[in-house]
Structures are given as structure tokens and as C-alpha cells.
Structure 1
Amino acid sequence: MRSIELVLTSDAEATVRAVWDALVVADLPSMGRSTSETNAPHVTLAAGEDLPVPGRLDAPVPASVRTGGVLLFAAGPGRHVLGVSVVVDRALLAFHEAVHRAAPGGVDTALPGRWSPHLTLARRPRDTDLPRMLDVLASVPVPDELGIAGVRHWDGKTRTVTPVV
């Protein structure tokens, strides 16, 4: 799988990593357990098996994103993906559409009109872990606004990152 992602400023990344670390300390599932060099907090804009590195984008990269509430996606029986939603404002919507014009062919769930932008906190926690995870999130909240540093193309097959903007 390949993806095109918004990456956070160093301060914003540190705040999300603090949440990841708090989940690890609580012995819960967390993105902080991944040791991959390319593992970084991000907002996926597009994803697909053959997604190209986009060339010129015809909309500016948003300077920041606003966070919303906790988000759960189904990930199999008794499992979910736990994330924090990202509010879609006009600037983010315009940029998301520009990414898809420049790099068509993404999966349906990332297309304009179907996209649920978020920051992933944990993949596949058990339903029984969720109450404790919510307690951790209450103690280490994600800020209302996170700065954006740029855009990257991630190739899961080669585990490489290409800066886009």
C-alpha cells in the first residue's frame, strides 16, 4: 500500500507521540510500539496500491488542522482502530481534492466525499481495552490544533518516504 500524508510540525508530532507513549506505559495498544523509521503521526490524504508520487499540487498545504473527537473504525471482530478525528475545513477540503487530482487511483474510503481524516493512535485494540484507553486519552489530551510541516508519499512495500511539499 502507498499513501500520501500530511505530516506534523515537530511540536505537534511530540504531542501526539506523548499520547502514544502514555498508551504504551499503560500497557495498551499504541502506534508508539512501532519501531519503523517511517512511523510518524500523520493524516492520510490518499491511499492505494499504485498511488503515484504527486507532482505539482494546485492548492496550498494547510498550515494546521483542528482535531475533533475520538474516532473508532472497525478492524475485525472485537477490534477497532482508535484515532482522533480531524475537522474538515475549506482549506483542508481544497487540499485533499488537489491531492486526488494530482494522484488519482486511491481507495474508495480516502476519496473526496468518503474520507474520514484522522490521526491513528492505535491499531486493532480489543473492545475490552477501550475504556482504559479513553482514560489515558483524558489524561494526555491531543491539542485542539496541530501544525502541519508538509506532505509525504509513503511506500509500504519499500518502506520509503518521499517528501512531496
Structure 2
Amino acid sequence: MRSIELVLDPDSDAAVRAAWDALTAADLPSLGRSGTNSPHVTLAAGDELPVPEGFDAPVPTSLRLGGLLLFPAGPERSVLVRAVVVDPALAAFHDAVLRNAPGAVETSLPGAWSPHVTFARRVRDADLPAAVAALRSVPLPDSLAVGGVRHWDGETKTVTPVA
């Protein structure tokens, strides 16, 4: 699978990593347990998603965070994320990504896309209260600053900076 992602500036990246570390310190699932993860917001994903040559809309400078969400991850397990609010700048850039890098899966398309920052995958339902408490111990700012755009190729494990 390939994806096009917004990456965060150093301060926002560090804030998300602090949340990952809080989950790890509480002995809970966390994206921080892998040294290869990097905080990001996926704009589009697909098996044949090309590296775009550019975009016909500006990259958003910040991302406003919404509430804590759970996505299903199997029986009695959830993915723990923080929603990203789709404002006009993010919506325009998302549309530009889809125009300039065709081939996205349905969940990347407007009306189905749920932008978010992921904290942990496969959190047991019984551990959700502890996970929420751990995240409360290191609150994130109301918005995160964008540091750029990258293309990720999961098959070759290749990151290509785009903008």
C-alpha cells in the first residue's frame, strides 16, 4: 500500500510522540513502540498511488484537532486516534492530492475520508480507560503545525518528500 501524508513540524511531531510515550509508559499499545513510525495524517492511500509532481492548491499550514475517536480493530480491540477537523484549506488540499495522484481507495475519497492522528492500534476495550488517562497526562495543543508532504511506499519502505 502507498500513501500520501501530511507530516508535522518538529514541535508538533514531538507533541504526538509525547502522547505515544505516555501510552508506552503505561504499558499500553502505542505507535511509539516502533522506531520507524512517524506522526502524520494520511491524505490518500492506494496500491498504485503515484508520487505526485506537485499540487494545484497550497499545503495547509496547520491542522485543528477534534475529539478522541475509536476505529474498530477486531474483536474487543480499537485503534485510538484524534480526529483532524476538515476546514476549507485542508479540504482544498485533499482535493488537490486526489487530482494529482489518482488511484486512492474509497476510504480516501471525500465523504468517506476521516483524517486523524493515530496513537495506538489494537487497544483492548478493557484498557481504554487507562489509555485515555495516559493521553490526558500529556495534552496535545488545539492544532498541529504541518511540516510537509510525503509519499510512503509500504512495499519498498520508501519515503519520498513531495512538498
TM tier relative to shorter chain: over 0.9
* Partner AA of 1:33 in structure 2: R
Residue 87 in structure 1 maps to residue 85 in structure 2 = yes
User: Structure 1: which 5+ residue stretches go unaligned?
Assistant: none
**1:21, distance to aligned residue in structure 2 (A):** 0.4
For 1:16, the equivalent position in structure 2 comes to 16
Instruction: Give the match for residue 69 of structure 2.
Output: 71
| Unaligned 5+ runs, structure 2 | none
Percent identity, aligned pairs only? 67
Establish whether residue 55 from structure 1 lines up as the match of residue 41 from structure 2.
no
Q: Tell me how many residue pairs correspond in the alignment.
A: 163
SS at structure 1 position matched to 2:133: helix
What TM-score, normalized to structure 2?
A: 0.98
Q: Does 1:131 align with 2:129?
A: yes
* Cα distance in structure 1, aligned partners of 2:107 and 2:122: 18
The answer for the alignment partner of 2:114 in structure 1 is: 116
Matched, 1:99 2:92: no
- RMSD, aligned α-carbons: 0.7
Q: Distance in 2 between matches of 1:71 and 1:53?
A: 30
Report the CA distance between 1:104 and its aligned residue.
1.1
**Per the alignment, in what secondary structure is the counterpart of residue 64 of structure 2?**
strand
What SS does structure 2 have at the residue aligned with 1:134?
helix
Matched residue SS, 1:16: helix
> Where does structure 1 differ by over 4 angstroms across 4 or more consecutive aligned residues?
none
Identify the range of structure 1 (9-18 vs 106-115) with the bigger mean alpha-carbon deviation: 106-115
